[in-house]
Amino acid sequence: MAVSPVPTPHNGAKKGDIAKTVLMPGDPLRAKYIADTYLENPVCFNTVRNMLGYTGTYQGKEISVMGGGMGIPSIGIYSYELYHFYDVESIIRIGSAGGYADDVKVKDIVIGMGACTNSNYAQQFGLPGTFAPIADYELMQRAIEIAKAQGKPVKVGNILSSDMFYNDDADAKDKWKRMGVLAVEMEAAALYMNAARAGKKALCILTISDHLYAPEELTAQERETGFGDMVEIALAL
């Protein structure tokens, strides 16, 4: 039986193909757009399941960008493999989110200091209590400083990583909003837990694409290509 030249069936990259820092949007087409737009000499290292990944340089620094998919199970797989099989040190999730807080508007940038969740993902660790998934402090502090230097206002606080996009509990969003949660997305909590377990770094930077209490929202095309401010913060980390 032949030995596979790659460490995982989900990623076609070989050891050394992926940089120590990976930017991870959910949409693989957004990963391609970022690579084509921002990276010098990008090389595609993965096309398995069309979860596109690229490595190139940005201002002289090697960096990779790869799609992470939708939901905690998907980013749970990809981030675990990047940390454990490809020696990645830092993953910065760059994604879209729905606004909860009244002072969060469409196109605002939100940094997830902590990630609440209704997911059972933490159960696997057998903890004798409730784990609080949080960002790496140094990455978060640098992102805030970079945003300030670039003249891009950000909001920092708790986000929700939800297992449900369509929730049968119509009041759920009101309960999270009352607890000061800024926005909802679907991946950060698993990323933060995987980073904690691996002793690695993670940060989630989000752009508000719609608001749960207002009618405005971005189009699918705007979500794919219109998150430049967030991407430029992440690239500078």
3-state secondary structure 78-139: HHHHHHHHCCCCEEEEEEEEEECCCCCCCCCEEEEEEEEECCCHHHHHCCCCCCCCECCHHH
List 36, 163, 210, 229, catalytic entry: 210
Its sign, for the CA torsion 63, 69, 72, 77, is negative
- 210 flagged as catalytic: yes
| Residue 161 contacts residue 190 (beta carbons within 8 Å) | yes
The span from the CA of 211 to the CA of 218, in Å, is: 10
**Active-site residue list:** 210
